[in-house]
């Protein structure tokens, strides 16, 4: 696999970019960031210091992934989405002095395998987005998201479930059983948790 970093990208020599990954125009990848294999970092995207991405992640144009975010394999971050890192943001301290990096502690967003963050969505740290969940475009996530949950709105609320293919799951004739319209995979819902049938 060929790794491609275009000339206009700003990639720290202290960053690790996995085989087959692409970093496009005007993107910035900071010190100690780690990108897995086959990742795509879009135009103008920002990957903060020490951020970790799994394999085959896509961070679309102008998305901002602030440290110390952790993204699993196959995570999608849509255009202009933001993963924040400051729970109580201020430019200055109570005495009026300008805040420096030593005046606050960064907290990160964690995103599970296969999850998707829609365009212009905001995930307010520290939250965890469960595996295969979908955060709709423009949503603002302020609390943890269960695996496979479909989240919409401001603040984000769960309106359904999605399968691995990203399609909303459909109810079947049996309570608590749902079906993916794209793959036919069956899921069981119990006490706010979704389980793919045939897995443990």
Residues 46 and 74 both lie in one domain: yes
Residues 9 and 107 both lie in one domain: yes
Residues 195 and 155 both lie in one domain: no
Which residues touch 64 (CB under 8 Å, ≥6 apart)? 45, 46, 81, 82, 83
Whose tokens are 């440290």? That residue is: 67
Q: Mean pLDDT in the chain?
A: 96
- Number of domains making up the chain: 2
Residues 149 and 186 both lie in one domain: no
Residues 69 and 121 both lie in one domain: yes
Residues 62 and 155 both lie in one domain: yes
Cα–Cα distance measured from residue 51 to residue 6, given in angstroms and rounded to the nearest whole number: 20
Q: What pLDDT, on the 0 to 100 scale, is given for residue 104?
A: 83
Q: What pLDDT, on the 0 to 100 scale, is given for residue 82?
A: 98
Residues 179 and 155 both lie in one domain: no
Q: What pLDDT, on the 0 to 100 scale, is given for residue 90?
A: 92
Provide the pLDDT confidence category of residue 1 given band limits of 50, 70 and 90.
confident
Which residues touch 186 (CB under 8 Å, ≥6 apart)? 172, 177, 178, 179, 180, 196, 197, 198
- The end-to-end CA distance of the chain, in Å, is 33
Residues 155 and 170 both lie in one domain: no
Q: What pLDDT, on the 0 to 100 scale, is given for residue 102?
A: 84
* CATH code, domain carrying 79: 2.160.10.10
Question: 75-97, pLDDT tens digit by residue?
Answer: 999 999 999 999 889 999 999 99
- Provide mean pLDDT across the span 178-188: 96
Residues 47 and 91 both lie in one domain: yes
Residues 191 and 148 both lie in one domain: no
Q: What pLDDT, on the 0 to 100 scale, is given for residue 103?
A: 84
Residues 105 and 198 both lie in one domain: no
Q: What pLDDT, on the 0 to 100 scale, is given for residue 32?
A: 98
Q: What pLDDT, on the 0 to 100 scale, is given for residue 50?
A: 96
Question: 141-167, pLDDT tens digit by residue?
Answer: 999 999 999 999 999 999 999 999 999
Q: What pLDDT, on the 0 to 100 scale, is given for residue 200?
A: 55
Range of the domain at 122: 1-162
Residues 95 and 157 both lie in one domain: yes
Q: What pLDDT, on the 0 to 100 scale, is given for residue 128?
A: 98
């Amino acid at each position: 696999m060929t790794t491609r970093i275009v000339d206009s990208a700003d990639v720290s020599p202290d960053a690790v970019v996995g085989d087959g990954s692409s970093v496009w125009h005007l993107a910035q990848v900071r010190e100690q960031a780690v990108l897995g294999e086959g990742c795509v970092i879009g135009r103008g995207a920002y990957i903060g210091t020490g951020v970790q991405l799994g394999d085959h992640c896509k961070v679309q144009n102008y998305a901002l992934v602030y440290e110390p975010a952790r993204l699993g394999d196959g995570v999608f971050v849509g255009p202009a989405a933001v993963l924040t890192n400051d729970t109580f943001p201020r430019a200055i301290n109570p005495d009026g002095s300008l805040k420096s990096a030593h005046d606050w502690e960064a907290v990160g967003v964690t995103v599970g395998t296969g999850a998707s963050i829609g365009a212009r969505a905001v995930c307010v740290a520290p939250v965890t987005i469960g595996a295969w969940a979908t955060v709709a475009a423009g949503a603002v996530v302020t609390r943890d998201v269960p695996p496979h949950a479909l989240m919409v709105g401001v603040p984000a609320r769960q309106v359904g479930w999605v399968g691995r293919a990203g399609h909303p799951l459909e109810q079947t004739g049996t309570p608590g059983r749902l079906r993916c319209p794209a793959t036919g995979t069956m899921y069981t819902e119990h006490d706010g948790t979704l389980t793919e049938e045939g897995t443990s």
